Structure 1
Amino acid sequence: MGALNGKVAIVTGSSSGIGKAIVLRLAKDGAAVVVHYRTRAQQAGEVVAAIQEQGGTAWLIQADMSRADEARRVISETVGRFGRLDILVNNAGKFSPKSFFETTEADFDALIGLHAKGPYFAMQEAAKVLPEHGRIVNITTAGTQLHFHGASAYLGSKRALEQFTKGIAQELAPRGITVNAVSPGITDTGVLTDQYRQIGLHGSPTQRLGLPGDIADVVAFLVSEDARWLTGQTIQAGGGIVM
């Protein structure tokens, strides 16, 4: 019996990278999983196929998670498909560093939409259907503590998500629903520039980059029964890059 047998989990942005590792891990633990993508249909389909080949249950959904109506739809269609929702992982995101002077209003709105507005309304919709002891996990970034140069709008949008985590955790606590954030450090998802690779290698006392599976393991713990006494926390999962 898997630790998540009978549970239904949504992982947004799960066609690749950290999101893919998370959805594969939750499926391995027995959850029926919703694999979400915005544009990478083929990659997302391959994730679903891999889960099904291992005997798991996976369903594919497309949505623009920067839009509140689309974020709500992901929740409602999942419940329509499976009849329930137990776990929401807000992972969809885009690392888009840009200097303060170069950032346009469109850049700003896109980042706030994807990292703050969309997750906020996904959580609001999910909270209507989550059972007692449901789980919400938000994926943020160690950069909110490290303050990378030239990424103020990106980091501000992720910092907002960390603050939402605390406030929403307080409101949902009477129902036993936990809300936590996981803050990865420099993680090797296959798209790192050499600059950030070097920051990761030299910034962590482990002297290695994080792997998507490292983050997935932390999320798997937070959605388990063993993490019932953790809520409103931002867990630094960066090999000590933030202490």
Structure 2
Amino acid sequence: MGEGMRGRVAVVTGVSRRIGIGFAIARRLLDEGARVLVHSWAPHDAEQPWGADPTGTAGVLAELGGEGERLRHVAADFADPEAPAAVIDEAVRAFGHVDVLVANHARSSVQDLTQVTAAELDLCWAVNARASVLLTQAFAAQHDDDRPGGRVILFTSGQHLAPMARELPYAISKGAIHQMTLSLADALADRGITVNTVNPGPVDTGWADPELTRRVGRALPAGRWGTPEDVARLVCWLASDEAAWITGQVINSEGGFRRWVM
């Protein structure tokens, strides 16, 4: 790969599993020459059906090259409203500044209308939506506008393209990220900072059971799910100088996903 991100510093949240999207993004940014602070919160994965990475945080960091001059790590629970600013502050302490924020983290939640609780709605809002706003706020507060390449990249899901009735807390909180994108972009446009959101579509990160894998695969023209590397290529392009003219967009990168086929 090239070194188009040399001299830039990125924060990537949600880097807790080697087969995850956050890991692929961090690895590509490192390959492109960036210095990267990765964030994780392994207890969330541990309580999910797919579980935490079997090698633990140490194994994830080792596969990224190990902590050192170009890679740092911080664990933080974004249910805590002070955690987003603390993550950005840690990156500034480590590297002096932050040029790129990739808010890839997410709390997954499977609750339909008969099951949904106020507590789960609040937690998904806090982790997925509120933390994305507060990370952007903290990023903007430390950003030196004389530096080129100010980028914020958020993540939504496909809730704006088709219903997600079995995952209401998750879908609603991700919908908030979709809706905040244009307003955050406008708030930062005069400072030369772009804000865009990615909907990566179905990505194989080990969470789907065999039946869902088969059904979704049937609706993807390429005959396969997306890979974390597919997402990483788009994110790293949005973080690059080549994407400087794009802001306020929600980009659907789904490989032609035909939901009506499922």
Aligned partners of 2:245, 2:153: CA distance in 1, in Å? 14
1:26 counterpart residue number: 29
Alignment of 1:43-122 (within 5 A): 43-52=56-65, 57-122=70-135
CA separation of 1:144 and 1:97: change in aligned 2, threshold 3 A: farther
Deviation string 1:118-149 (CA, Å, 9 cap, x unpaired) is 11111111111223330000111123312123
Aligned partners of 1:45, 1:29: CA distance in 2, in Å? 23
Report if aligned partners of 1:13, 1:38 keep a CA contact under 8 Å in 2: yes
TM-score normalised by structure 1 residue count:
0.93
2:196 counterpart residue number: 180
Aligned partners of 1:148, 1:51: CA distance in 2, in Å? 34
Aligned partners of 1:156, 1:222: CA distance in 2, in Å? 25
- Residue type at the aligned position of 2:65: Q
Report if aligned partners of 2:12, 2:39 keep a CA contact under 8 Å in 1: yes
Aligned partners of 1:194, 1:56: CA distance in 2, in Å? 41
- Residue type at the aligned position of 1:34: L
2:205 counterpart residue number: 189
Report if aligned partners of 1:28, 1:56 keep a CA contact under 8 Å in 2: no
Report if aligned partners of 1:8, 1:31 keep a CA contact under 8 Å in 2: yes
Give how far 1:66 is off. Answer: 2.8
Aligned partners of 1:71, 1:83: CA distance in 2, in Å? 17
Deviation string 1:159-200 (CA, Å, 9 cap, x unpaired) is 101111111001100111000011011110012123432342
| RMSD of aligned alpha carbons | 2.1
Report if aligned partners of 1:85, 1:126 keep a CA contact under 8 Å in 2: yes
Deviation string 1:6-32 (CA, Å, 9 cap, x unpaired) is 111111011221111111111111111
Aligned partners of 1:65, 1:118: CA distance in 2, in Å? 6
TM-score normalised by structure 2 residue count:
0.86
User: Partner of 2:142: helix, strand, or coil?
Assistant: coil
Q: Which runs of 5+ in 2 are unaligned?
A: 43-51
- Residue type at the aligned position of 1:115: N
1:138 matches 2:164: no
CA separation of 1:229 and 1:186: change in aligned 2, threshold 3 A: same
Q: Which runs of 5+ in 1 are unaligned?
A: none
Q: Is the deviation greater in 140-149 or in 74-83? A: 140-149
User: Partner of 1:78: helix, strand, or coil?
Assistant: helix
- Residue type at the aligned position of 1:111: C
Report if aligned partners of 2:61, 2:67 keep a CA contact under 8 Å in 1: no
Equivalent pairs, count:
243
1:13 matches 2:29: no
